[in-house]
Structure 1
Amino acid sequence: MQTPKKIAVVGSGLVGSLLAIYLRRAGHTVHIYDRSPDIRQIQFSGRSINLAMSTRGWKALDGVGVGDSVREIAIPMDKRAIHLVDKLNFQNYGQEGESIYSISRGDLNRRMIDLAEQAGAEFFFEQKIWDVTLSEATLHIGETERGAWEEKKYDIVFGADGAFSRIRHRMQRQSMFNYSQEFLNIGYKELNIPANPDGSHKLDKNSFHIWPRGEYMLIALSNLDGSFTCTLFMPFEGENSFALLENRKDVELFFEKNFPDSIDVIPKLAEDFFKNPTSTLVTMKCYPWTYKDKIALIGDACHAIVPFYGQGMNAGFEDISILSEMMEEYGDDWEMIFSEYEKSRKPNADAIAELSYRNFMEMSSKTADDKFLLQKKIEKWFSDKHPDKWIPLYSRVTFSDRPYTEALAIGDDQNAIMEEVLKTENIEAVWESKEIENKILTLLHEKEAVKN
């Protein structure tokens, strides 16, 4: 047990709430501040992408015994349902019994705040943090940025306040602080597939539904009430873009042409399209993440990523797992805890940012490509035969807690091997042969020999 500290967490989102539970279990006093109202008191909709909980997230939740409470509001998805214009394909995610879990962001956030309160954390909503004195861990709170501020002194402050963090904004004004943000030219808009009159789902609830169309795509993840949260990803400008969908007729014609099997299941298509905002997607990187033994950034506040690997929340939760390990190892030496935490997580945050960016290309284009689907079949076939030699990249990221850096490096090697294999003459007919098995084994051996 550490010496109890008075700790502030800025941000009552998923990461901030789970972090509060960990800190309370370690014996600390925890106050959580958020500039927004209590999400449990308001309707949450219009700009959400459903979450996909996987191994890293569950590990962090189970680490403080709240995983089962979250499983109550989660739906397992064991496969992709790939909606092409003229047919529907299914692609399993992992081995038998492996699933990712669809969870409504609003439902999970409400549950996490309840759990944090039960653990003894105290929440302060509609409190605007305008600045922080880094050397003293003092928050400056007020109604307006130029009005009177109240000072709140703490032993430690955590910035869990998202991609546009006020805590990080203050840290950026230090010398030798590196920071970058990059917006995609692709935005997203939430749509909704309601439940059937009897409360059942209109589509298979245990699939991650995806309509891949190259530069744009539609996805749908199931909710407990029988509905699906849909997200349309499209460029802001260009041939197929939000800019060209100016009225109800434009939207309906676009969906009839490009997503014909979605028309019947999204009855309020145009209404939702124009009611819900078009939101942006940003990758944000920075370093350092900490200041002495006083301040630390966590989650999106230090490594916001695009959502195409479903790992944003999982990576943020894994930050907490690693921080907790450092707390156990270094006791009351918070400067060492923070130093080792950021050194461990920064390379992995960069790796998942890269993987997430690449996965947009896979989801939007390659899932509709016969060569890519064949590659996935070969990888699955070979992995089943040699599970000690080949774990597919997706499984390394999603069904493992091995470092993201390792997944990125091994995934690049595996992709190079598959590019060679796919050059094999008549590969479509011979892919399940001893010849292909031996070819992959040889290429793996060659890769290993080069490394050694």
Structure 2
Amino acid sequence: MQTPKKIAVVGSGLVGTLLAIYLKKAGHTVHVYDRSPDIRKIDFSGRSINLVMSDRGWRTLQEIGLDEEIKKIGIPVDKRAIHMLGSELNYQYYGKDGEAIFSLSRGVLNRKMVDLAETAGVEFFFDKKVWDVTLATATLHEGETERGEWEELDYDIVFGADGAFSRVRHRMQRQSMFNYSQDFIRVGYKELHIPANADGTHKIDKNSLHIWPRGEFMLMGLANPDGSFTCTLFMPHEGENSFEKLTDKETLEAFFAKYFPDTKEVIPDLVEDFFKNPTSYLVTMKCYPWTYEDKVALIGDAAHAIVPFYGHGMNAGFEDITILNQLMEKHGDDWLTIFKEYQQSRKPNTDAIAELSFRNFMEMSTKTADAKFHLQKKIEKWFSDKHPDKWIPLYSRVTFSHHPYSEALAEGDKQNRIMEEILSMENIEQIWETELVENRILELLKK
């Protein structure tokens, strides 16, 4: 059991709010600050990508008894539904029977988490702008404007859970020996919307992640419990097929008629949504160290923002909390050791999921439409079912297990090299389910 501390969490997003619940349950006084209004009192739409909860996130929720509560507001998704131009819908199942990720609306989930945190005794301070933190004393500096008067708020510990452009991290960056990088990718995104049918049912299969892969750009959609879908158009900001080219109603409608013809009946508000909703940017952010002595620590996107193509930004942030909690139970009041081991444990793994997320854009936008890729997935599933102790497919290792992300990246690279050799075998399309192929994979695994 830890000695109770007065702890501030900056940021009332998903990771900050769940962290606050964990800290409160551990006996601490917890205050959460956010510069935005209370999310429960505002309309949250227009620039979101639906979240997917996988095993890592569920573990964090389960350990504090919140998993069943959250499952009520999600929809299980057990496969990809690939909408290829001029051909039938193709389904690619994620894992074994019963394995599924859960589609969750970011706004609905965040509101629920704030409610649960308040019920647990966490105190929230909305519309409070934290501009700076004195690292040595865990003192927050809050005020209306960056140049105006600030109030000093004293704490024992401060957690920066304030996202990719964190003010807490901004202060830490001004130390010597603090490494920091941010990389914007050339692809941006825009939210679109498939409304429910008149009777509240979904217009397309609700238990699939729908993907319209078109090479350098793609459309995807995930279901919401109210019968609607949150769709996301990922495209380059500039170039031939890009956001900069879609400037008027006629051009937009012609573009969708050419590349996404089967969406005409299900996205009735295309023009209104497209020109109303902002075009958002995607960034990968890395930094180190994540902590300052036993006073300040970064968590979630403030420490490791990633692009959304593996659906693991939230899951990685929740796993930060799992590891932090394990170390709190192990080391008690020794926050210096807790913080040191926390950052050493998480840094290699969050770097790995950043790399995997970046790569997955190519898989979703290009490879999902490729026959060779489909065959590779069939071979991997077939071999994995026969030898589950020897082969866990990369997606399953990342999404349906608790294996470290760094291990998943290394094993995935090894498996890909093996599959390149298998796919180059003569007549592989005809012989892939044979003992010859099975023995060749076993032989390559031994090398």
Same fold (TM over 0.5): yes
Shift of residue 363, structure 1, vs aligned partner: 0.3
Residue 6 of structure 2 is matched in structure 1 by: 6
Whole-angstrom CA distance in 1 between matches of 2:162 and 2:264: 37
Distance 2:157 2:409 in 1: 34
Structure 1 counterpart of 2:260, which letter?
A: F
Aligned to 1:302: 303
Letter in 1 for 2:20: A
Hey, what does 1:82 align to over in structure 2?
Answer: 82
Secondary structure, aligned partner of 2:265: helix
In 1: Cα distance, 2:175 partner to 2:290 partner: 12
The 5 Å alignment of 1:35-54 reads: 35-54=35-54
- Aligned partner letter, 2:12: S
Q: Which residue is 1:72 aligned to? A: 72
Q: Within the alignment, does 1:350 sit opposite 2:351 as a pair? A: yes
Aligned equivalents of 1:387 and 1:96: distance in 2? Answer: 14
Q: State the partner residue of 1:175.
A: 176
Residue of structure 1 in register with 2:192 after alignment: 191
Counterpart Cα distance in 1 of 2:264 and 2:234: 17
How much identity, in percent, do the aligned residues show?
73
Match for 1:307: what amino acid?
Answer: P
Deviation (angstroms), 1:305:
0.1
State how far apart, in whole Å, the 2-side matches of 1:215 and 1:189 are.
15
Q: Distance in 1 between matches of 2:327 and 2:375?
A: 43
* Residue 445 (structure 1) shift: 1.1
Which residue identity lines up with residue 126 of structure 1 in the other structure?
D
Q: Which amino acid aligns with 1:241?
A: S
Task: Provide runs of 4+ in structure 1 moved above 2 Å.
Answer: none
Deviation at 1:36, TM superposition (A): 0.1
TM-score where L is the length of structure 1: 0.98
The aligned runs of 1:228-377 (5 Å cut-off) are 228-377=229-378
Deviation at 1:84, TM superposition (A): 0.2
C-alpha displacement at 1:263, in angstroms?
A: 1.2
Distance 2:372 2:198 in 1: 40
Q: What SS does the corresponding residue of 1:264 show, helix, strand or coil? A: coil
Distance in 2 of aligned mates of 1:339 and 1:368: 44
The aligned amino acid for 2:383 is F
Q: CA deviation at 1:54?
A: 0.2
**Residues paired across the two proteins, number:** 446
Deviations 1:270-321 (A, max 9, x none): 1100000000000000000000000000000010000000000000000000
Residue-by-residue CA offset, 1:349-373 (whole Å, 9 max, x unaligned): 0000000000000000000000001
Q: In the TM superposition, what are the counterparts of 1:372-387 in structure 2 within 5 Å?
A: 372-387=373-388
Which stretches in structure 1 are left out of the alignment for 5+ residues?
447-452
Residue aligned with 2:109, SS: helix
- Whole-Å separation in 2 of the counterparts to 1:356 and 1:212: 16
**AA partner of residue 71 (structure 1):** K
Cα deviation per residue 1:312-343 (whole Å; 9 max; x = unaligned)?
A: 00000000000000000110000100000000
C-alpha separation between the residues in 1 aligned to 2:8 and 2:350? 24
**CA offsets, 1:405-441, max 9 Å, x none?**
0000000000000000000001111101110000001
Question: Tell me, what secondary structure is at the counterpart of 1:265?
Answer: coil
Q: In the TM superposition, what whole-angstrom CA distance separates every residue of 1:239-281 from its partner, at most 9, and x where no partner exists?
A: 1000100101111100000011111100000110000000000
Distance 2:407 2:62 in 1: 24
Alignment partners' CA distance in 2, 1:207 and 1:189: 20
- 1:154 and 2:165 are equivalent in the alignment: no
CA distance in 1, matches of 2:193, 2:439: 48
1:217, distance to aligned residue in structure 2 (A):
0.2
Counterpart of 2:262 in structure 1: which amino acid?
Answer: D
Mapped partners of 1:439, 1:239: distance in 2: 43
User: 1:133-176: per-residue Cα shift (whole Å, max 9, x none)?
Assistant: 00000000000001000000000000000000000000000000
Q: Which residue of 2 aligns with 1:450?
A: none
Letter in 2 for 1:423: S
Alpha-carbon offset, residue 111 of structure 1? 0.5
1:18 aligns with 2:18: yes
How far did 1:5 drift? 0.1
Amino acid at match of 2:24: R
CA-based RMSD of the aligned residues comes to: 0.4
**One-letter amino acid of the counterpart of residue 351, structure 1:** A
